[in-house]
Amino acid sequence: MMIAPEGSGQSAAPLPEQVGAYRVDSLIGEGAAAIVYRAHPTAAAAGDTPQTVALKVLKPEAMTQPQVLACFQFEARVLSRLDHRGILRVYDAGVDDDRMYTAMELLDGVSLDNVLIANKRLTPAQSVDIARQVADALDYLHRSGYVHRDVKPANLMLTPQGRVALFDFGTVVRIQDGAPYEAGLYGTPAFLAPEQTVAGGKVDGRADLYALG
Protein backbone atom coordinates (compact mmCIF):
# COMPACT_ATOMS: atom_id res chain seq x y z
CA MET A 1 0.00 0.00 0.00
CA MET A 2 1.33 3.40 -0.87
CA ILE A 3 -0.34 6.77 -0.94
CA ALA A 4 2.56 9.11 -0.26
CA PRO A 5 5.35 10.01 -2.71
CA GLU A 6 8.00 10.36 -0.08
CA GLY A 7 9.16 8.86 3.17
CA SER A 8 9.51 5.35 4.54
CA GLY A 9 7.56 2.85 6.58
CA GLN A 10 9.43 3.71 9.77
CA SER A 11 8.95 6.59 12.17
CA ALA A 12 10.53 7.59 15.45
CA ALA A 13 7.17 8.88 16.69
CA PRO A 14 4.99 6.45 18.68
CA LEU A 15 1.89 5.14 16.92
CA PRO A 16 -1.18 7.06 18.17
CA GLU A 17 -4.23 5.01 19.13
CA GLN A 18 -6.72 7.43 17.63
CA VAL A 19 -6.79 10.74 15.76
CA GLY A 20 -10.14 12.46 15.47
CA ALA A 21 -12.79 9.89 14.56
CA TYR A 22 -10.22 7.39 13.28
CA ARG A 23 -8.51 4.46 14.98
CA VAL A 24 -4.92 4.10 13.81
CA ASP A 25 -3.93 0.62 12.59
CA SER A 26 -0.40 0.97 11.24
CA LEU A 27 2.16 3.30 9.71
CA ILE A 28 2.22 3.77 5.94
CA GLY A 29 4.96 6.37 5.51
CA GLU A 30 6.50 9.59 6.70
CA GLY A 31 7.45 12.80 4.92
CA ALA A 32 9.07 16.04 5.98
CA ALA A 33 5.87 17.60 7.33
CA ALA A 34 3.42 14.75 7.87
CA ILE A 35 2.99 11.10 8.80
CA VAL A 36 0.52 8.84 6.99
CA TYR A 37 -1.24 6.01 8.79
CA ARG A 38 -3.60 3.25 7.80
CA ALA A 39 -6.73 3.82 9.91
CA HIS A 40 -10.39 2.90 10.17
CA PRO A 41 -13.32 5.16 11.07
CA THR A 42 -15.24 4.98 14.33
CA ALA A 43 -18.96 5.59 14.62
CA ALA A 44 -18.28 9.33 14.84
CA ALA A 45 -16.81 9.51 11.32
CA ALA A 46 -18.71 10.73 8.27
CA GLY A 47 -21.24 8.25 6.92
CA ASP A 48 -19.64 7.86 3.48
CA THR A 49 -16.17 7.06 4.86
CA PRO A 50 -14.92 3.61 3.74
CA GLN A 51 -13.76 0.94 6.19
CA THR A 52 -10.08 1.81 5.71
CA VAL A 53 -8.50 5.21 5.00
CA ALA A 54 -5.10 6.81 4.71
CA LEU A 55 -4.84 9.27 7.58
CA LYS A 56 -2.36 12.09 6.95
CA VAL A 57 -1.35 13.85 10.18
CA LEU A 58 0.84 16.95 10.38
CA LYS A 59 3.90 16.67 12.61
CA PRO A 60 4.02 18.92 15.70
CA GLU A 61 6.86 21.00 14.26
CA ALA A 62 4.87 21.56 11.05
CA MET A 63 1.94 22.88 13.08
CA THR A 64 4.05 25.92 14.00
CA GLN A 65 4.74 26.87 10.36
CA PRO A 66 1.99 29.13 8.92
CA GLN A 67 2.79 28.33 5.28
CA VAL A 68 2.65 24.58 5.89
CA LEU A 69 -0.64 24.94 7.74
CA ALA A 70 -2.17 27.05 4.98
CA CYS A 71 -1.02 24.59 2.34
CA PHE A 72 -2.36 21.57 4.25
CA GLN A 73 -5.75 23.18 4.88
CA PHE A 74 -6.09 24.41 1.31
CA GLU A 75 -5.20 20.98 -0.09
CA ALA A 76 -7.89 19.35 2.05
CA ARG A 77 -10.53 21.91 1.02
CA VAL A 78 -9.75 21.51 -2.67
CA LEU A 79 -9.75 17.71 -2.64
CA SER A 80 -12.99 17.56 -0.65
CA ARG A 81 -14.69 19.44 -3.51
CA LEU A 82 -13.38 17.20 -6.29
CA ASP A 83 -14.94 13.94 -7.45
CA HIS A 84 -13.02 12.18 -10.21
CA ARG A 85 -11.59 8.66 -10.36
CA GLY A 86 -8.27 10.12 -11.52
CA ILE A 87 -7.84 12.20 -8.34
CA LEU A 88 -7.25 10.87 -4.84
CA ARG A 89 -10.37 11.50 -2.78
CA VAL A 90 -10.54 13.21 0.63
CA TYR A 91 -13.33 12.16 3.01
CA ASP A 92 -12.71 14.27 6.06
CA ALA A 93 -10.34 16.78 7.67
CA GLY A 94 -10.03 18.31 11.08
CA VAL A 95 -7.97 19.05 14.18
CA ASP A 96 -7.72 16.77 17.20
CA ASP A 97 -5.58 17.51 20.25
CA ASP A 98 -3.57 20.08 18.25
CA ARG A 99 -3.03 17.55 15.45
CA MET A 100 -4.29 18.53 12.01
CA TYR A 101 -5.32 15.56 9.88
CA THR A 102 -6.88 14.54 6.59
CA ALA A 103 -8.65 11.22 5.96
CA MET A 104 -8.04 10.17 2.36
CA GLU A 105 -8.74 7.34 -0.02
CA LEU A 106 -6.36 4.43 0.50
CA LEU A 107 -5.25 2.93 -2.79
CA ASP A 108 -3.67 -0.47 -3.32
CA GLY A 109 -0.97 0.42 -5.81
CA VAL A 110 2.46 1.81 -6.54
CA SER A 111 3.68 5.18 -7.78
CA LEU A 112 4.68 5.52 -11.41
CA ASP A 113 8.24 6.48 -10.51
CA ASN A 114 8.69 3.16 -8.71
CA VAL A 115 7.29 1.35 -11.74
CA LEU A 116 9.81 3.14 -13.96
CA ILE A 117 12.66 2.35 -11.57
CA ALA A 118 11.74 -1.34 -11.58
CA ASN A 119 10.88 -1.74 -15.27
CA LYS A 120 12.97 1.09 -16.78
CA ARG A 121 10.37 1.80 -19.45
CA LEU A 122 6.70 1.39 -20.33
CA THR A 123 5.21 -0.16 -23.43
CA PRO A 124 3.63 2.27 -25.92
CA ALA A 125 0.17 1.01 -24.93
CA GLN A 126 0.89 1.55 -21.22
CA SER A 127 2.23 5.05 -21.88
CA VAL A 128 -0.83 6.04 -23.89
CA ASP A 129 -3.24 4.68 -21.28
CA ILE A 130 -1.50 6.46 -18.39
CA ALA A 131 -1.26 9.73 -20.32
CA ARG A 132 -4.94 9.52 -21.28
CA GLN A 133 -6.07 8.99 -17.70
CA VAL A 134 -3.87 11.76 -16.33
CA ALA A 135 -4.97 14.17 -19.06
CA ASP A 136 -8.61 13.41 -18.24
CA ALA A 137 -8.00 14.09 -14.53
CA LEU A 138 -6.17 17.33 -15.33
CA ASP A 139 -8.95 18.47 -17.63
CA TYR A 140 -11.43 17.98 -14.77
CA LEU A 141 -9.11 19.74 -12.31
CA HIS A 142 -8.60 22.73 -14.60
CA ARG A 143 -12.31 23.03 -15.40
CA SER A 144 -12.88 23.05 -11.64
CA GLY A 145 -10.61 26.10 -11.43
CA TYR A 146 -7.37 24.64 -10.08
CA VAL A 147 -3.86 23.84 -11.27
CA HIS A 148 -1.75 21.12 -9.61
CA ARG A 149 1.75 22.55 -10.35
CA ASP A 150 3.65 19.34 -9.50
CA VAL A 151 2.60 16.66 -11.98
CA LYS A 152 5.31 13.99 -12.04
CA PRO A 153 5.65 10.17 -11.87
CA ALA A 154 6.07 10.25 -8.06
CA ASN A 155 2.61 11.84 -7.76
CA LEU A 156 0.79 9.30 -9.91
CA MET A 157 -0.57 6.09 -8.38
CA LEU A 158 -1.11 2.98 -10.50
CA THR A 159 -3.41 0.24 -9.19
CA PRO A 160 -3.47 -3.43 -10.25
CA GLN A 161 -6.87 -2.76 -11.84
CA GLY A 162 -5.31 -0.21 -14.20
CA ARG A 163 -6.53 2.93 -12.50
CA VAL A 164 -4.21 5.96 -12.48
CA ALA A 165 -4.77 8.56 -9.76
CA LEU A 166 -3.11 11.94 -9.23
CA PHE A 167 -2.26 12.80 -5.63
CA ASP A 168 -0.12 15.09 -3.45
CA PHE A 169 -1.98 18.36 -3.97
CA GLY A 170 0.29 20.32 -1.65
CA THR A 171 1.16 22.76 -4.43
CA VAL A 172 -2.36 23.20 -5.86
CA VAL A 173 -3.57 26.76 -6.49
CA ARG A 174 -6.67 28.43 -7.84
CA ILE A 175 -6.09 29.45 -11.42
CA GLN A 176 -7.84 32.78 -10.89
CA ASP A 177 -5.75 34.08 -8.01
CA GLY A 178 -2.41 32.29 -8.01
CA ALA A 179 -1.77 30.87 -4.54
CA PRO A 180 -3.25 30.40 -1.06
CA TYR A 181 -0.02 31.50 0.56
CA GLU A 182 3.11 33.49 -0.26
CA ALA A 183 4.40 33.24 -3.80
CA GLY A 184 7.53 31.25 -4.46
CA LEU A 185 9.04 28.44 -6.51
CA TYR A 186 6.85 25.36 -6.03
CA GLY A 187 7.06 22.05 -7.82
CA THR A 188 9.87 19.78 -8.99
CA PRO A 189 12.58 21.45 -11.14
CA ALA A 190 12.71 18.71 -13.79
CA PHE A 191 8.98 19.10 -14.48
CA LEU A 192 8.50 22.86 -14.13
CA ALA A 193 7.05 24.86 -17.00
CA PRO A 194 9.12 27.97 -17.86
CA GLU A 195 6.52 30.32 -16.38
CA GLN A 196 6.85 28.55 -13.03
CA THR A 197 10.48 29.63 -12.77
CA VAL A 198 9.87 33.34 -13.38
CA ALA A 199 8.97 35.70 -10.54
CA GLY A 200 5.42 36.89 -11.11
CA GLY A 201 4.85 34.38 -13.89
CA LYS A 202 1.17 33.54 -14.45
CA VAL A 203 0.57 29.82 -14.01
CA ASP A 204 -2.50 28.06 -15.39
CA GLY A 205 -3.43 24.59 -16.59
CA ARG A 206 -0.86 24.68 -19.36
CA ALA A 207 1.88 24.25 -16.74
CA ASP A 208 0.39 20.87 -15.81
CA LEU A 209 0.20 19.83 -19.46
CA TYR A 210 3.86 20.81 -19.89
CA ALA A 211 4.78 18.53 -16.98
CA LEU A 212 2.69 15.70 -18.42
CA GLY A 213 4.72 15.99 -21.61
Between CA 111 and CA 2 the distance in angstroms is 8
The DSSP bridge partners found for residue 57 are 35, 101
Quickly list DSSP for 32-70.
Answer: SSEEEEEEEE-TTS-TT--SSEEEEEE-TTGGG-HHHHH
Within this chain, do residues 92 and 120 fall inside the same structural domain, yes or no? no
For residues 2 and 94, the model is more confident at 94
User: For residue 2, what pLDDT band results from cuts at 50, 70 and 90?
Assistant: very low
Residue type present at position 66: P
- In terms of residue numbers, what domain contains 25? 18-104
Encode pLDDT of 73-87 as tens digits: 999 999 999 999 999
Within this chain, do residues 143 and 58 fall inside the same structural domain, yes or no? no
The DSSP bridge partners found for residue 104 are 54, 90
Look at residue 5 and tell me if it is in a domain.
no
User: Among all residues, which ones are annotated catalytic?
Assistant: 150
Within this chain, do residues 34 and 98 fall inside the same structural domain, yes or no? yes
Encode pLDDT of 141-162 as tens digits: 999 999 999 999 999 999 999 9
pLDDT of residue 12: 63
Of 130, 92, 128, the closest CA to residue 111 belongs to 130
Encode pLDDT of 40-54 as tens digits: 999 877 767 889 999
Look at the chain and report how many structural domains it folds into: 2
